[in-house]
Amino acid sequence: MTTISPLIAGNWKMNGLSQSLDELTELAQLLTTGEAPRAVVVVCPPATILAAVAAQGASSGIMAGGQDCHVEASGAHTGDISAYMLADAGAQFVIVGHSERRASHAENDDIVRAKAEAAIGAGLKPIICVGETESERDGGSAESIVNQQLSRSIPDAAEHHEIVVAYEPVWAIGTGRTPTLEEIAQMHANIRARLVERFGEERGNTLRILYGGSMKPLNAREILNVDNVNGGLIGGASLLAKDFYTIISSV
């Protein structure tokens, strides 16, 4: 069985001002004074404080990531941020295809794939999000929806460049609801099978699959113990250093 080092990524979403760096300072202290974390730790703050997070986190091993990127490297795209800009600010990862982007900005699988390609081109590791809505889950089409997203959103370049897949059941994000451990295991096993099918045993079994969707300090350990769960994409709980550290320590 291939051993995959877990990754815990915090998505701050549209939260965080310069004073929020105090939480990062506290997280860094917890990570460096407590037991050494057995996970790769990534914080994805708003772009306004990305460079500060990258600089401040470096000494404690905290990596920085962007929350989105444009498909183009530069140009007349007012208000947008390219993958190269994120890399220039110190990012090593970038989230693409988050359900909130898919819903609020009408991003389809083709756009997500183009963003992932742009990220890889800039030397970033894309965290590619997939997941079904409540109606799709209740209608029995969760796996087919996720499989379609995987097929269309992951670029062929993933065969030779590092990517991360994040499964986030849309109905569990910020609602406090979570799938059962069995449901998580089934979907992650399905995702693993699709990755192996596309990229082969050796490659498909080394790609990280994160779980995202109301992971909290209270349920992190049991979720992270599920087969094929190689870490988490954490929303609200990543905003507070103590909560995020508890999740990291659950690995």
Comparing C-alpha atoms, which of 119, 113, 120 is closest to residue 130?
113
Q: Per the structure block, which two tokens stand in for 121?
A: 């081109």
Segment 241-250 mean pLDDT: 96
Catalytic residue chosen out of the listed positions 100, 107, 168, 188: 168
CA–CA distance, 25 with 42 (Å, rounded to integer): 14
Average pLDDT, the chain: 95
Distance CA 215, CA 36 (A): 21
Q: Is 72 a catalytic residue?
A: no
63-100 pLDDT, tens digit each: 999 999 999 999 999 999 999 999 999 999 999 999 99
- Which position among 23, 70, 98, 117 bears the catalytic label? 98
Q: How distant, in Å, are the alpha carbons of 50, 56, 175, 186 from that of 94?
A: 11, 18, 24, 26
For residue 178, what pLDDT band results from cuts at 50, 70 and 90? Answer: confident
Question: Does pLDDT of 1 surpass 60?
Answer: no
- The H-or-E segment that residue 128 falls in is strand 125-130
Per-residue pLDDT at 2: 67
Angle of helix 241-249 relative to helix 21-33, nearest 10 degrees?
A: 30
**Residue range 113-118: mean pLDDT, rounded:** 98
Alpha-carbon gap, residue 235 to 201, rounded angstroms: 31
Q: pTM, whole model, 2 decimals?
A: 0.96
CA distance 45 to 161: 24
Return the number of other C-beta atoms located less than 10 Å from residue 101's C-beta.
Answer: 18
Residues 245/27, Cβ–Cβ less than 8 Å = yes
In the DSSP assignment, the letter for residue 213 is S
Distance of CA 196 to the CA centre of its chain: 20
Mean local confidence (pLDDT), 95-116: 97
At residue 3 the predicted structure's pLDDT band, cuts being 50, 70 and 90, is confident
Q: Decide if pLDDT at 174 tops 90.
A: no
Classify strands 164-167 and 208-211 as parallel, antiparallel or unpaired.
Answer: parallel
Instruction: Indicate if the pLDDT at residue 198 is higher than 90.
Output: yes
Indicate the class that CATH gives domain 62-162.
alpha beta
**Is it the case that residue 131 has pLDDT exceeding 80?**
yes
Q: How is residue 70 annotated by DSSP?
A: B
Residue among 24, 81, 16, 82 at smallest CA distance from 49: 16
Indicate where the chain has its CATH 3.20.20.70 domain(s).
Answer: 62-162
Per-residue pLDDT reduced to its tens digit, 226-245:
999 999 999 999 999 999 99
| Burial bucket for residue 138 (CB in 10 Å: 0-12, 13-18, 19+) | exposed
Rounded to the nearest 5 degrees, what angle is found at the Cα of 45, between the Cα atoms of 163 and 240? Answer: 110
What is the signed CA dihedral for 184, 189, 192, 193, rounded to 10 degrees? -150
Q: Which helix (H) or strand (E) holds 64?
A: strand 62-66
Q: pLDDT value at position 172? A: 87
pLDDT in tens, 26-73: 999 999 997 778 899 999 999 999 999 999 999 999 999 999 999 999
**160 classed as catalytic:** no
DSSP string, 72-116: SSSSS-TT--BHHHHHHTT-SEEEES-HHHHHHS---HHHHHHHH
